[in-house]
A = this chain, B = another copy of it.
Amino acid sequence: MRVLLIHAKRFIYRTRMKAIPEAEDINGVQGEGSFENALVVFTTVESRDTSNPKEVVETAAKDIVEIASKVGAKTIVVYPYAHLSQKLAPPHQAKNILAMLELEIKKLASDKFEVSRAPFGWYKEFELHCHGHPLSELSRNYEAKTTARVEVKK
């Protein structure tokens, strides 16, 4: 799992159209969001994450909550983003793992942060205002320790 964490003064998104057939159903779910003082977690679920999603999600959630605390964000937004890796997980698994990540963050820190998740598989318009302080742009690579073997193919 690769993430790009942006501490944003403001973040707004709106779904535009389905990008893939497996796009998340947004009837009744938020097709748009608007946030101030948010940690936006642009997240790419990778194929290797499917071998132990629980551990990857726990590792990621713990770190994300720590970073959100450090920067003083009010909200954490899990934002599906397929552009941070070339080794994507299959869409239905990526969708599930992103939902697990949202739940795990809520489990750890719903008393401290609002936690939101943007729908998977949609083209989205967005407006992002990044603070620019030293911790306002971070990238992370999360993996399960119990996945001993990491295949790297190019």
Task: List chain A positions with a Cβ less than 8 A from chain B.
Answer: 4, 14, 16-17, 19, 83-84, 86, 123-134, 136-139, 141, 150, 152, 154
What is the CA–CA distance of A134 and B83 in the complex, to the nearest angstrom? 13
Report how far A14 CA is from B133 CA in the complex, Å: 11
Q: Add 12 more A-B contacts to A127-B128, A152-B154 (CB < 8 A).
A: A4-B83, A16-B133, A17-B134, A84-B139, A123-B137, A124-B132, A125-B131, A125-B136, A126-B130, A127-B129, A128-B128, A152-B152
Q: In chain B, what residue has the closest Cβ to A138?
A: B83
Is there contact, CB below 8 Å, between A130 and B125?
A: yes
User: Which chain B residues lie closer than 8 Å to A126 at the CB level?
Assistant: 128-130, 132
The complex places the Cα of A141 from the Cα of B131 at a distance, in Å, of 27
List 29 contacting pairs A-B, 8 Å CB cutoff, sorted by A. A14-B132, A16-B133, A17-B134, A83-B137, A83-B138, A83-B139, A84-B139, A86-B141, A123-B132, A123-B133, A123-B134, A123-B136, A123-B137, A124-B132, A125-B129, A125-B131, A125-B132, A125-B136, A126-B130, A127-B127, A127-B128, A127-B129, A127-B130, A128-B128, A128-B129, A128-B130, A150-B154, A152-B152, A152-B154
Copies of chain A in the complex? 2
Complex CA gap A16/B9 in Å reads 15
> Which of A83, A84, A128, A130 neighbours the largest number of chain B CB atoms within 10 Å of its CB?
A83
Q: A14-B132, A126-B132, A134-B19 are in contact. Are A84 and B84 (CB under 8 A)?
A: yes
